[in-house]
Structure formats: C-alpha cells, structure tokens
A and B are shown apart, each in its own frame.
Chain A
C-alpha cells in the first residue's frame, strides 16, 4: 500500500509581479515502510514539497495524501499521524531538552515518560543534556532533539527537511543510522537532502530540479542507467585542469570530485585528445582511467541533461 501519494502537485510563489514556480507537476508514489530520499540542489523545491505534504501550505494544483489522508481535507487527522523535522531548528531554544519533550508530548496527548521507550535509541544521546537549554546544544544534538520531539507520538510517517545540513560528519553518520533503525521498525521516512552521497543510504531516491521530478528509482538502478563511460583524471597541476580543458570540444562534462576530475566525452577519441592537450599545456603525471559511476555522477548527469 502506498503511504505517500502526490498527483501533479504545483505551487507558485508570487511576490509583487515576480513569480517563482517552486513545483511544476510532481507525481509521487511511496510505499509504506520505505526510506525515501529527495535529492536536489538548493531552490529545487524540496522544502515546498515537504511543506505541502505535512499540511503547512496548500498546493495551487494537484492532490496529495499521506497514509490515506488528504493533506488539505484531513489535515487535522494527518497531523496526529506524521512527524516533521523542519530544516530550521524549530524547538524552543529557551526551554530545556526535557521541557521541549514534555511540551510536545502533552500537545500530542502522550505521556512523555512512557514514550521514552520509543525514542530511547535517540534519547540516550540526549540524556546527559536533559537539563540544558535547547539553544545551547550542538548542531547534531539539536537535530537529535528535533527528531525525538517529532517521534514522541509514534508517527507512522516521518518527514525530515535537510536534517543533516550544518551537522558534522560523525553526527551525520549517526543520524542516518538512526533513520535506518526507524525504517526497520516499519516507519515510512521521507527525507530531503542536498548531499548526494546520502542518497545511497535510501531505498529509493527522487531527483528534483527546478520543481520537476527528474527521476525516481533505487540508487543502484540510477547508477545502472548511467549511459556514458566515466573517466577519472588526475595530474600534477589540478588547479589548472578546469581552465585548460575548457578549450577542448570533446569534453562533455567535467566535475571536480575530491582530488580527481570526473570526465565524460562526446566521442571515443575524446580521452586521447584530452590527454594530448593537457600535455601541451604543461601537465605531467597525467592519469586518466575508466571508473564505475557513483550516484553523484548520475545526478550530475541527469541534472545537466534535464
């Protein structure tokens, strides 16, 4: 059974005479129990889509339902069944960890102390800080508190808007482990992120750009769909690679990936022409080899082709 369904969702923001098309006809079918990742650059419409699904804003067109409840008509019921962690920390910074949890527990009509069980996995990180003001927590701890508050009422669907933005690498990893644990308990999770490497941890990912869903598939299927041969390039003068390659018509795409450049070419001759050109420009110890594309390469490709 599908848990999150959207049909031709559109949303346009107007301010004065300028219009921003945040969403242009989004279709979604996410089965219950799936960990779904929404990936896209800033301004792609990720937050707008989530805010519609959690009933915070109304779509201009289209319909959506979560767990069988319409996001416009049944918003009252819907809000009892979902958890939402907004991109911006939205708990009371001047209240302590415990006070925040207790407040949201009473708002949802559950007993916070009894519910500690359900958020135990997360709360164990927070326990030592329970009397600290939420505003004085680190970024990672804030996110764990936000997650605890969103889970206090046992939601069946959890929405997270860029939960790992501005959080250090270790906390990010911990956070994703928590999400997989929740998923294994049967919760449907919808998470947006600008970090493509995180997409590989999802059951399926949706690639969104300029309000349109480019692709929805499992990470491995997306990688398989990569139609080109991908090369990794390294030379002794990496800082000049971009400028020196710009004159080469054979290069289809070039993106910096860590210490390498990932390249694709229009023709079979491409790699040889490119190495030749770089040698002329004074590069040495040039290494160009075929590699398996990662999910980020695929996103870069699909976004460029869209």
Chain B
C-alpha cells in the first residue's frame, strides 16, 4: 500500500465532494433538520388522555372521583355519556381513549365495605397511549382509594402489619425528559445514514459512469482504492458528529456527562464498521438504484432493532440476540451511556470489542470482494 496513491484518492474524493453544492447542503442541512425535528416527533409523553366517565351512581363520592380525574393535567374529561354502550360508541369513533364506568350504588357499596368494582375500557390501537393512559388513571384511582380509606374506615391506631412504602428516584435523567434520551440516539442514526449512503453511492457511481475502468487498469491496489474511499467519508462522518453534538448542546442543552473524547473514539471505530459494510454492499451492486434499495433495507432493520425507539429489553429473545450484531444498537447504547451516565472507556469496553471485531471483519471483506468483482 502506498500513501501517495491513497492521498491522491482522498484529494480526488474531496475535490469531487465539495464541487457539488448539493453535497455540502446535505452534509449540513440533514443533521440540523433531523436533530431539530425528530426528537419532537419521537416524544412518547402522552399529553392528553380523553376519558369518558359514565356515572351511574350520581353520589357525592362519584362526583368527587370525577372531579379528581378531571383535575389531573394529563386527563381530559370530555364526554358525558349516559350509558357505557354510548361511551364505547364514542371510542369506536376515536373520540375517547378510556371509558370508565362508575356502577350504581358505588358509594353505598364502598361504605358498606362491599368492594364495588370500577370498570375501565382502554382504546388500545396505539399501545403506547393505552398503557400510559391507563397508568395515569390507575394512579389517580389508587390515590382516591387511599383518601376514601382515611375518611371512611376506622383505622386501628397501629398498623397491624408493617407496611413497606416504595419511593423511587430517576437517576441520570431525573426529569425523564425525552430530548436527552432521543437526541444522542438520533445523532447515531444520522451518522449512520450520512456515512452509509454517501460511501455506498459514491463507489457504485464510479462503476456506473465507468471511471472504475480507468482505475482498474492503473496500478492502484484494491486496498488503496477502498481506503481512499473510506477515509474521506470517515472524516465527513466525524464532521457530522461534531455538528450534531454542537446542535445538541446549543438547542437542547445536552452536554455529555462523560468525555467527548470517548464518543469520538467510539464513533471512529463505529464509522469503520459502517463504512466497511457500505463498501462491501456496493462491491456487489451494479447501479446506484440497487445499492440504495439494499442500504434502505439494511438501515431499516438496523434502526428498528437498535433500541432507539423501543427498548432492547422488551424485544423477544431472538431479536435481543440480533442486537449484538447490530452496530447501530451498540453505538446507541454507548452514546446514551456516555452522554447521560458519564460512562468511561472502560465501561463501554465490551461494545468497543464488538465494534472492533465488526470493523475487523467487514473492512477486509470489502477489500477482498473488490478483488473479485470488477
């Protein structure tokens, strides 16, 4: 391998890249738009749960319960259905999320200690909304329950059974705010998309317009050629990362708790693996269209199984296994650990190992397959 040849390749790549204003726009506009828009869209907080309360009791206690639910900022008590059936019809029309039935004699049964039963039906087409909404409702009901007990039941002076009260504190992201969680993840996706598509498209373009012919009859070795392609996009990837970290700091006030150096170190390794895969795929493709479809497919799987949107722990076991082979999943875990938790290089060592292994396999494979396909 000759440094002179690789340098010539790199100079050529940058000259071509910066000659096209569309490339520069893509490099800057894409990260900015994605980082500013996506975290807002990927917000899981359920802001307004529309509840319909069917009060068949009309007692002071049932009114109190209704008022308590309505007072919750996340709950929106809109309809006043006469019957439970009517409420369910409203749900059918997507007008309400939860229908709550307060049965007749609710107050009387409660006072007589006959355990009255409240029934709630939850609109579960959107699973996220359903589970968060019913969580809210259950919390309100539990609260209400305690109050009723205090007021109506004669409690013994001392608790006959010792009670364990559980309180919890959220560590690392105390306000549970989504941007701090999502922005680093989206930054990973961004880095992946920019690096992956730029590199794979670029290589196939050389095939499509035939410039690879001239390279192939020159003494440029395949390894020099691949490295000459890899290094420019590796640098551009790190530029995007820098831009993204800047946006995270300026717009979201997210400053990595851990060292920025750790993020760059891991990203460098990560880009080697991702670019290796991109170059490997483009070794087999003949047209930009082919490579675009294949990379779209690969990206989709990587991203959906990465744990960006859904936590890896809630995936079925086989899917959890695949995340070990998914570079995106590794980086998302790492960047969240470093940004939110302040993890150091030694904490993320297993991920570093996995990424090094991937890069170590994919890169030589890309070079090797170029030997065969030209």
Contact = CB atoms under 8 A, between A and B. Distances in A.
Interface in B1-53: 2, 4-5, 7-9, 11-12, 15-16, 19-20
A80 B219 contact: yes
A205 B194 CA distance: 52
A92 B211 contact: yes
B101 to A, nearest CB: 67
A168 interface: no
A103 B215 CA distance: 10
A130 to B, nearest CB: 15
Given A76-B219, A80-B219, A94-B20, A107 B210 contact: no
A109 B215 CA distance: 14
A108 B215 CA distance: 11
B155 interface: no
Interface string A133-149: 10000000000000001
B135 interface: no
Contacts, number: 66
A246 interface: no
Contacts of B5: 106-107, 109
B12 A84 contact: no
Interface string A75-110: 010011010101011111111000100011011110
Contacts of B146: none
Contacts of A56: 213, 216-217, 374
B214 A90 contact: yes
Given A92-B12, A99-B15, A107-B5, A86 B210 contact: yes
A54 interface: yes
A106 B7 contact: yes
Contact of B218 (A92, A94, A108, A133): A108
B213 A90 contact: yes
B193 interface: no
Contact of A82 (B209, B211, B217, B220): B217
A55 interface: yes
A90 B210 contact: yes
B221 to A, nearest CB: 8
B216 A107 contact: no
Given A106-B5, A107-B5, A109-B4, A90 B219 contact: no
Nearest to A76: B219
Main secondary structure of the interface of B (DSSP, over half): helix
Nearest to A92: B211
B217 A55 contact: yes
A132 to B, nearest CB: 13
A181 B274 CA distance: 50
Contact of B219 (A91, A93, A107, A149): A107
B367 to A, nearest CB: 16
Contact of A84 (B9, B217, B374): B217
B8 A103 contact: yes
Contacts of B219: 76, 79-80, 107-109
Contact of A95 (B12, B209, B216, B218): B12
A94 B8 CA distance: 16
B213 A92 contact: no
Contacts of B15: 95, 99
A232 B332 CA distance: 81
Interface string B279-302: 000000000000000000000000
A107 B220 contact: yes
Nearest to B221: A76
Given A79-B218, A94-B19, A107 B213 contact: no
Given A89-B210, A94-B16, 15 more contacts: A56-B216, A76-B219, A84-B214, A86-B214, A88-B213, A90-B210, A90-B211, A90-B212, A90-B214, A94-B20, A95-B16, A106-B5, A107-B220, A108-B218, A109-B2
6 contacts: A86-B213, A90-B211, A93-B209, A95-B12, A103-B11, A107-B5
Interface of B: 2, 4-5, 7-9, 11-12, 15-16, 19-20, 209-220, 374
Closest 7 CB pairs of A and B: A106-B8, A90-B214, A90-B210, A84-B217, A90-B213, A88-B210, A86-B213
